[in-house]
Structure 1
Amino acid sequence: MATRWGLCGAGKISHDFSVAMKTLPPGDHQIVAVAARSLERAREFAKKHSIPKAYGSYEELASDPEIDMVYLGVLHTEHWRLGLLVLQAGKNMLCEKPFAMNSREVGDLIAASKKSNVFLMEAIWSRCFPLHREVRRLLAEDAIGDIKLVKASFGSPQLHIPRSVEKELGGGALLDIGVYTLQFVLMVFNGERPESIHATGVLLNSGVDESMVVVMTFPRNRLAFCFFSIAVSLPNDATISGTKGTIRVLGPMHCPTTLEVNGKTTQYPLPEPSLPLNFTNSTGLRYEAEEVRQCLLKGLKESPRMPLSESALLTEVMDECRKQVGVVFNQDSQ
């Protein structure tokens, strides 16, 4: 039986998610409903993607008994409020990154999922890519020896995009793209808590971070170095340096398709989209959708590829980075 999806949000990422879903077998995945703040917008989206039902409120979507899984694709300032709505309605949920605005909000979402006994996952889609699965396998097999240094960068000129620069919309490099570099480090170190975090950066006039550098130390003399910016392009890659070799993820950082291991390069091509996409390599969203389905079939309440404990730790790290750089959101004082 197909996993029946409901889309909470009818924006650009929901469009790309819908296009990606068309690359999967219809017998496994079906988008059965979409909700937006206006019924007109939801109907327009539903018509474009051949979705049977359109709702003009998120409450209607959350109460639809024919939905197995909700994909939350709204602004991350709304993740906490709408996430609680979905989870408290007893619905499983895949929540776009970042999980929420701070650790308090993330804690509320995790608690709500456990209380309702439903599945919850932060949509760090790169975790589900075949390339990242290969990286995990290589690390588990000690292919490059003891890991000593991890370096990751992500830079994309986005100063012209309101949601990237406005504090009220949860802007800043950290929550939008820096999160991918930090989660990569935590993946390599298997969810270990860093011993120290040192962050420095520069802020826009709006009070959000334009660029940031984060250095983390881990037990056994291991170091991680992340840098990210919404002002300039950066290499958008990652390097794992071990005592016996090197693994390089050649990018893009958030949706990688090229892997280099000790100088040998392997490509992991993605399916072609049936409609134009808003973001790079978005047909790769198919992998997180399939990960969700497999977890549901196994009766799991969270994904081993992105455990809730690791999402919580990732948010704690980002909270500390914001504190050191001086980025404060309204949600921090609530």
Structure 2
Amino acid sequence: MKKQKLDTPPLRWGFMGAGKIANDFATAIDTFSKSVHRKVAVATREKQTAEAFAKKFGFEKPCDSYGDLAKDGDIDIVYIGTVNPNHYELCKLCLENDKHVLCEKPLTLRLEHTEKLIKLAEEKGKFFQEAVWSRFFPAYERLREELAKDSLGSIKAVTALFGINDQVTSRILRKDLGGGSLMDIGVYTIQFAMQVYGPFVPEKVHAVAIKNDEGVDMSVSMTLQWKDGQIAQLSCSNLAKMESSAEVWGQAGTLKLHEPFWCPNEIEINGKTEKHALPKVSHTLEFEHGEGMVYEVQEVKRCIADGLTESPHFTHKESHILAQILDEVKKQIGLSFEEIYSDDKETWKEAV
């Protein structure tokens, strides 16, 4: 792991949400000393949940509400790990209260919301990051190195599969929770193609899907084509277990991120596999390779210490392009989340 700057004050964290993903992110922060990162406060919809989470992970205090946390002067940055539909409102709340923000993907469910948040963050001059943790793994750094060296030659094909058999998790099955395979795991396949081909909007997008009775996608296949004939074939599914790997096919070589490609510890370059050991952590993890969130924690600290408002490894521009691609795919498969917002099209109508 890269060393943190020793001459900077500790980064003071607030958490919004205390679910499984927050469990792993708090665990990642725990690998650092309190002189580097401090866990200050946590807020959830129900106070007792925040109290239990604060006690488990050693936060200094639970907050009574999201609003109280956003206004807390002892907090530098807020990590948002709630369900998808309220990402927009909570990001907006934090930015308006001059907090840096790290928000889990997808940043929002609507393109215009993503655009508004990026604009607000840039106006405020605050660090603002969509938590695409994949980009900070050592294997992705090696991928970028090989692309920079042009060792694979001209690249015209990328493939990525992400498939799990999960037909019970409510946040995936329910539209009012912003569900579906596209927004949950399909995001990872798209970001991989963008990592290879660069931050450009594809010229063509073709998508098909299988949906459940709520109209939420359970399986999606996408073909993306960029202007130079570069093609990405991507699939995500909550109906079938796949070999969830990603590959780059060049005229001079091939590269593969082994499963799980979105949080890999192995990369294969022209048939030779490199292993990258992940950090050791003290708490039980909820997700495979959740300890890899350590790299994301490191990157956030580095960027803020250096006065950056975004990570160069996943920029605001890339969040915007990702949102544009998702928007087009949703249109093609007939998926919309409009009905879960109130009449002013800003506020999420919270599920009962």
Place the TM-score, normalised by the shorter chain, in its bin: over 0.9
Percent of paired sites with the same residue = 38
Q: Partners of 2:36 and 2:233 in 1: how far apart?
A: 40
Query: What is the number of residues matched between the two proteins?
Result: 334
Counterpart amino acid of residue 117 in structure 1: G
Partner of 2:267: 259
Counterpart amino acid of residue 14 in structure 1: A
Over residues 64-112 of structure 1, what are the superposed CA-to-partner deviations in whole Å (9 max), with x where a residue is unaligned? 1111111011011110111111111110000100010011110121122
- What is the CA-CA distance between 1:206 and the residue it aligns to? 1.0
Q: Partners of 2:324 and 2:32 in 1: how far apart?
A: 34
- What is the CA-CA distance between 1:185 and the residue it aligns to? 0.4
- What is the CA-CA distance between 1:23 and the residue it aligns to? 1.9
Alignment partner of 1:44 is 2:52: yes
Q: Is the 8 A contact 1:40 1:56 kept in 2?
A: no
Q: Partners of 1:39 and 1:55 in 2: how far apart?
A: 7
Aligned counterpart in structure 2 of residue 291 of structure 1, from 280, 292, 299: 299
Counterpart amino acid of residue 178 in structure 1: G
- What is the CA-CA distance between 1:246 and the residue it aligns to? 0.2
Aligned counterpart in structure 1 of residue 221 of structure 2, from 213, 217, 223: 213
Partner of 2:95: 87
Q: Partners of 1:6 and 1:174 in 2: how far apart?
A: 28
Aligned counterpart in structure 1 of residue 145 of structure 2, from 107, 112, 137: 137
Q: Partners of 1:23 and 1:151 in 2: how far apart?
A: 34
Matches within 5 A, 1:118-137: 118-137=126-145
Partner of 1:177: 185
Stretches of structure 1 lacking an aligned partner (at least 5 in a row):
none
Matches within 5 A, 1:106-125: 106-125=114-133
Q: Partners of 1:261 and 1:34 in 2: how far apart?
A: 42
Q: Partners of 1:174 and 1:273 in 2: how far apart?
A: 30
Partner of 1:200: 208
Q: Which moved more, 1:18-27 or 1:96-105?
A: 18-27
Q: Partners of 2:155 and 2:33 in 1: how far apart?
A: 39
3-state SS in 2 of match to 1:160: coil
Q: Partners of 1:107 and 1:179 in 2: how far apart?
A: 17
Partner of 1:168: 176
Q: Partners of 2:302 and 2:266 in 1: how far apart?
A: 25
3-state SS in 2 of match to 1:33: strand
Q: Is the 8 A contact 1:8 1:35 kept in 2?
A: yes
3-state SS in 2 of match to 1:251: coil
Q: Partners of 2:18 and 2:97 in 1: how far apart?
A: 20
Q: Partners of 1:72 and 1:194 in 2: how far apart?
A: 29
3-state SS in 2 of match to 1:71: strand
Counterpart amino acid of residue 81 in structure 1: E
Displaced runs of 4 or more, over 4 A: none
Counterpart amino acid of residue 257 in structure 1: N
Over residues 258-309 of structure 1, what are the superposed CA-to-partner deviations in whole Å (9 max), with x where a residue is unaligned? 1000000011121233121111111111111111111111111111111001
Partner of 2:286: 278
Q: Is the 8 A contact 1:16 1:278 kept in 2?
A: yes
Aligned counterpart in structure 2 of residue 23 of structure 1, from 16, 27, 31: 31
Q: Partners of 1:4 and 1:160 in 2: how far apart?
A: 36
Partner of 2:82: 74
Partner of 2:167: 159
Over residues 237-256 of structure 1, what are the superposed CA-to-partner deviations in whole Å (9 max), with x where a residue is unaligned? 00000010000000202211
Q: Partners of 2:108 and 2:137 in 1: how far apart?
A: 23
3-state SS in 1 of match to 2:202: coil
Partner of 1:64: 72
- What is the CA-CA distance between 1:60 and the residue it aligns to? 0.9
Q: Is the 8 A contact 2:246 2:261 kept in 1?
A: yes
Counterpart amino acid of residue 243 in structure 1: Q
Q: Partners of 1:56 and 1:232 in 2: how far apart?
A: 41
- What is the CA-CA distance between 1:25 and the residue it aligns to? 3.8
Q: Is the 8 A contact 1:102 1:316 kept in 2?
A: no
Normalised TM-score (structure 1): 0.97
Q: Partners of 1:195 and 1:116 in 2: how far apart?
A: 33
